[in-house]
Amino acid sequence: MKITAIGADISKNDVSCSTTLVENIEKNLYKINELGASHVALTNVTGDDVVISAFVEDDLLENINEGIVNILKNCAESLGDLSGISDNADDAGEGISYAEAKFRDGFYPDAIILGFDTYGGEPFVADVANSAIKAARGMDNLTDVSDLIESKTRKIPGVGYVSSETDDPVVVATVENIESVGVIASAMIGAALGNKNTYLVERGTACNILPGSVIFSATALMNGNVIDLAVPFQNKTRILR
């Protein structure tokens, strides 16, 4: 079993996602369950980017990914990143973001999802995302974390190709012990925040930042429930006096 996560800018503006867009996506997620996903959710809403995440059996990955993209197409206020998807690598453009990670058999599936947004496609966002990925590696009770972000054309199973121009990455990590979700997520969040001009935001926050900055949301998908990790992280990092 895996978690698959697809992120896209399909908003009618460059700053935020409308309530209507969010509600329309959530109303259609049942279609992913009908395709065989055990859990599916709109996990991250970050600036003008959304991320749909699902827990799937390996042999259903391509069908589930295709189903997620179809929902994004049907709900889109603007084709945005969807227009960059191509059946062949040479014609691919700036497209959707993708991440996947494996669950270990015999453990209850819990996952951490980071969704990033920039105002002007700032290239250092890849370094920010990779900092989080590297921080997760080697942590106790981590099963898997998604691949490092690379500047190259990528094939997304069941969907097609997107080019190296694709920005606003998605990162996922799978966890074997529910009490380790906070430990691993905090390491990932802290590593990302160590980069220049990078800010953690709550799920649904608009991209009200100066160009040259990166925002990201951090969520956990556990038993089908989405938890906004920005809230407990903020509480845990308050300095007690």
What would the 3-class secondary structure string for 42-89 be? EEEEECCEEEEEEEECHHHHHHHHHHHHHHHHHHCCCCHHHHHCECCH
Report the alpha-carbon distance of residue 206 to residue 30 in Å, rounded. 26
- Residue 160 has a pLDDT of 97
> What pLDDT score does 239 carry?
80
pLDDT for res 141: 96
Tell me, what's the pLDDT at 43?
A: 98
Q: Maximum CA pair distance of the chain?
A: 58
Cα 187 from Cα 191, distance rounded (Å) = 6
Write the CA distances from 99 to 27, 72, 171, 240, integer angstroms.
23, 16, 6, 37
Distance CA 131, CA 214 (A): 13
Between CA 103 and CA 173 the distance in angstroms is 9
Place of tokens 């100066």: 210
- Residue 65 tokens read as 């990914």
Given a contact cutoff of 8 angstroms between Cβ atoms, the answer to whether 6 and 38 are in contact is no
pLDDT digit of tens for each residue in the chain (241 aa)? 999 999 999 999 989 999 999 999 999 999 999 999 999 999 999 999 999 999 999 999 999 999 999 999 999 999 989 999 999 999 999 999 999 999 998 888 999 999 999 988 889 999 999 999 999 998 999 999 999 999 999 999 999 999 999 989 999 999 999 999 999 999 999 999 999 999 999 999 998 888 899 999 999 999 889 999 999 999 888 887 7
Q: How far apart are CA 169 and CA 96, in angstroms?
A: 9
Predicted pLDDT at 107: 85
Please name every residue paired with 124 in a beta bridge, in sequence order, or none if there are none: none
Closest listed residue to residue 25, CA positions, set 44, 7, 42, 13: 42
Q: Which residues pair with 49 in a beta bridge?
A: 9, 46
How far is Cα of residue 99 from the mean position of the Cα atoms in its chain? 7
Cα 161 versus chain centre, distance: 18
d(CA 126, CA 168): 8
For 81, residues 6+ apart whose C-beta sits below 8 A from its C-beta are 8, 9, 10, 94, 95, 96, 97, 162, 166, 168
Sequence-distant (≥ 6) Cβ neighbours of residue 90 within 8 angstroms: none
